[in-house]
Each structure stands twice: as C-alpha cells, then as structure tokens.
Amino acid sequence: MITKVLEVDNHTVTTHFVLLGFPTQPAFQLLLFFVFLAIYLLTLVENFLIVFVIHSDGQLHKPMYFFLSNLSFLEMWYVTVISPKMQIDFLSHDKTISFNDCMTQLYFFVTFVCTEYILLAAMAFDRYVAICNPLQYPLIMTNHLCGILAAGCWFCGLMTAMIKIVFIARLHYCGTPHINHYFCDISPLLNISCEDSSQAELVDFFLALMVIAVPLCVVVASYATILTTVLRIPSSQGRHKAFSTCASHLAVVILFYSTTLFTYAHPKRMYAYNSNKMVSVLYTVIVPLLNPVIYCLRNREVKAALRKTMLCKGSEPREDGAVIN
C-alpha cells in the first residue's frame, strides 16, 4: 500500500493516511461489516423516530424533549461521520483516506462530541430547574431560552472543533503515516506527527478541559442539588416520580462520560494499543444505539407517543370516519 507524499519546503506534505482499523482475517472483516452495518442502520432509525415523534406529538413539545430531539439529531450525524468509511474499509484492501477527508472527518467528529458534552449539561440544567424550581420552570425554561441554549451548544462545538483542527492540520507527518485507529481522531494523529506537537497538545488539552470539565461540573452540581431536593420530599411516591424524570438522562450521561473519559484521559501513546479501539467503539457506535432505547424504556411519555405514532401509521381513516386496520 503506497501513501502519496509531496516534498514542499523541505517538509513532507502528506496527502493520504492509512487507517489500520481492526486487523483481522477477511472472513471476520465481512462479519464485522454486517454487524456494524446493522447497528448503524438501527441507530439511524431509532434516532429518526425519536426526532419525528417529538416534533409530531404536541404533548412532547416541552424543553426536556426539545433537548432530546437535538441529541437524537446529533447522534444521527455523529455515527454517519464514522460508520460509512468504516464499512468501506471492512470490504476494501485499500484503507487509505485523503488528508482533506481525514481533516473533514475529524472536524465533524470533534464538533459532535463537544456539542454532546455541552448539550448533556444543558439537559441536566433543565432537569434541575424542573425538580428544584417547579413553579418557576415555565417562566425560566421558555422557548427562547431553550433555543439559545441549543444554539449555544452547537456553536461551542463548531468553534472548538475549528480551533483544534487549525493546530492539527498544521502538523507534518513523516514516513508512512499509518493511523492506528478506524477513524481520524486527534490523539492518533498527534501520535504519528514527526515534529514537536506540544503546542497542539496544549491547545487540545485546554479545550478538552473547557468542553469536558465545565459541562461535567454543571451536571454534577445539578444532580447533587436534585438529589438533595428529592430526599426532602416526604412521600416515597413523590421521590420515585422525581427520580424517574431524570433517570434516563443520568444513565446517558454516565454511559457517554465514562467511555469518552476513559479514552481521552489517557496520554496519546495509549493509542498504540488496540484496547482503546474497543473503548472507542462503545461511544462512537454503541452509545448512539443505546441512547434512544434508554429514553424509550425509562420515559412513559415517549413510549406512549411512539405507540400512538405506530397505531396512527397502521390505521387508515375512511370517509365515514371509521378506521380501517
């Protein structure tokens, strides 16, 4: 496999990378193709259903579900940035990716990851207001504020990715730049740079601290206050109802943060090992698949809206008002 390079100003300008992916036997590659393709398609269908149901059911036009629809919309694009290229590599011997395509994939991946961190914090704030200040909730969580929060999440994600990509794209790569991963991520790219990447690493660390640590503090503070408030509720039924409104979100937060923090808390040399690929599969493939399931299983309103949508699609009204099944 040949990697094309150009010599410009005594520097080797890389035009292609090689994604090592999952080095297995061809038969197993075919199995992985079908497994990941099924997961990808199911993830798209699940998240599309969540977005469609929330926007079509008036009873779900609430701040909590507005943020959930944003999360599901994000997850659809999140998996689409990675999965199609991964599917192609399972079937092809040529696992190269052009420099521009690699940077594009990295940019959108970082955008969606950073946006999700901040969006989960916004959702935690929404649950905090709903449980700790229920009487003020309609006055605080207005449509205008929800729109600003959602737009702010996407804007921060886009800007963070833009800054990171500027520093990563300026690096030079020597020899045959094989990326020991199944997609273009920051740490593997830093790992194969042949120049001092300390500046890029510092910027990456600082931005990661802002995008991960600050939202995490918001989440922890919100749920600490929620826990204190719920424990003051005298009836067990009231406590159970309060906990049930935020249980699904808390499960998603734990799932997403635990998998991503395990990866990004390690130094870049950890990408020399295949164990990080397995962890990356969890948050790039499995978490987007599980998120809609978690919300549907734990939320009665979403389940009811889904059943209502399915029944409406499965029934056709006649002219006389009767319903034909």
Q: Residue 163, exposed/middle/buried by CB under 10 A (0-12, 13-18, 19+)?
A: middle
Q: Where are the domains of the chain?
A: 18-308
Kindly report the number of other CB atoms within 10 A of residue 153's CB atom. Answer: 25
The backbone region for 81, taken as left when phi is positive above 0, alpha when psi lies in -120 to 50, beta otherwise, is alpha
pLDDT per position as a tens digit, 103-150: 999 999 999 999 999 999 999 999 999 999 989 999 999 999 999 999
Higher-pLDDT residue of 321 and 54 is 54
More confident residue, 37 or 271: 37
Measured between its terminal Cα atoms, the distance across the chain in Å is 58
CATH second-level architecture of 18-308? Up-down Bundle (1.20)
What integer pLDDT is reported at residue 197 of this predicted model? 83
Show the CA angle centred on residue 18, arms to residues 14 and 23, nearest 5°: 165
pLDDT at 70 over 90: yes
Please name every residue paired with 281 in a beta bridge, in sequence order, or none if there are none: none
pLDDT at 266: 57
pLDDT tens digits, one per residue of 231-250: 887 877 777 777 777 788 88
